[in-house]
Amino acid sequence: MDQVTIYLRRFLPRIAIFLLASGLLGASLATAETIAVIGTGDVARALGPEFAELGHSIVYGSRDATQQKVVDLVTKTGHGAYATTPVKAVDGADIVVLAVPGMLVKTITEGLGDLSGKIIIDPTNPLGKDENGFFIHRAATSNAEIIQAAAPGAFVVKAFSTVGWRTMIDPDSTGGPITIPLVGDNEAAKVTVAELASDLGFETIDLGPLRHAAYVEGMLILWINNRYAGGQPFEYYLRKTPRNES
């Protein structure tokens, strides 16, 4: 199937439904998706069960699905979730969440096979440390662009990289609204990810194309250095202002 056909089959119905729903109902109308969550660490344990609660079908991709932590996660997720190899997990998925170590995204993405037509949600951060012990951004470009290059037919959306896993589970626990910045080159994919984030209780803002991803990843560098230095804790809330039409 060529890229145009994949795009039309996947996104036109979604856009139509979304526009209709937001115009007529003023509310999000998320489609039930099959979501492959690759990795079974903190982010997977946060997002997987939350997405399952929303009615999505969850399949975890693990290097070893027999690990006790994976068995426990599948049990906790319920709703028919299961775990398998990463390659099998992505096979029937509409959406792939790459909840994996930030410095391994190229290898891990390449190992997943053909991801054409799928939305990849990228919450990763390419974290390193400098000689003074401060966290730094270690990608020459950004993780999101590295993932897109490794899966050229997929629609990569950077999302959830700027919040901690506890906040992913319960945004309200922070005492106010939180914004998930979104960047990506496919508008319809960003709409889908915005719906998912909204359904989890977040606000979202579209900050443009994937080439802006390094700036979004930089937001986490500020957040984590502040946290480990014992600074005033904060979360990102980007207040939307009226458009200046003049």
Ligand X SMILES: NC(=O)c1ccc[n+]([C@@H]2O[C@H](COP(=O)([O-])OP(=O)(O)OC[C@H]3O[C@@H](n4cnc5c(N)ncnc54)[C@H](OP(=O)(O)O)[C@@H]3O)[C@@H](O)[C@H]2O)c1
Interface residue list for ligand X (CB under 6 A): 39-44, 62-63, 70, 99-102, 104, 108, 123-125, 127, 160-161, 164-165
Whose CB is nearest to ligand X? Answer: 41
For the bound state, the minimum distance from the C-beta of residue 127 to ligand X, rounded and expressed in Å, comes to 6
For the bound state, the minimum distance from the C-beta of residue 57 to ligand X, rounded and expressed in Å, comes to 18
What are the residues whose beta carbons fall under 8 Å from the beta carbon of 139, sequence distance 6 or more?
A: 126, 145, 146, 214, 217
How buried is residue 132: exposed, middle or buried, by Cβ count under 10 Å (0-12/13-18/19+)?
exposed
**Residues 45-66: b if buried by 16+ CB within 10 A, e if exposed:** bbbbbbbbebebbbbbbbeebe
Question: CA–CA separation, 166 vs 234, rounded Å?
Answer: 14
By the 8 A CB rule, do 98 and 151 touch?
no
For the bound state, the minimum distance from the C-beta of residue 92 to ligand X, rounded and expressed in Å, comes to 19
For the bound state, the minimum distance from the C-beta of residue 125 to ligand X, rounded and expressed in Å, comes to 4
For the bound state, the minimum distance from the C-beta of residue 79 to ligand X, rounded and expressed in Å, comes to 19
If DSSP codes are grouped into helix, strand and coil, which group holds residue 13?
A: helix
Closest to ligand X by CB, 155 vs 223, is 223
- DSSP letters of 91-123? HT-SEEEE-S-GGGHHHHHHTT---TT-EEEE-
Closest to ligand X by CB, 13 vs 231, is 231
Question: CA–CA separation, 214 vs 236, rounded Å?
Answer: 16
Closest to ligand X by CB, 11 vs 95, is 95
Closest to ligand X by CB, 5 vs 67, is 67
Closest to ligand X by CB, 38 vs 191, is 38
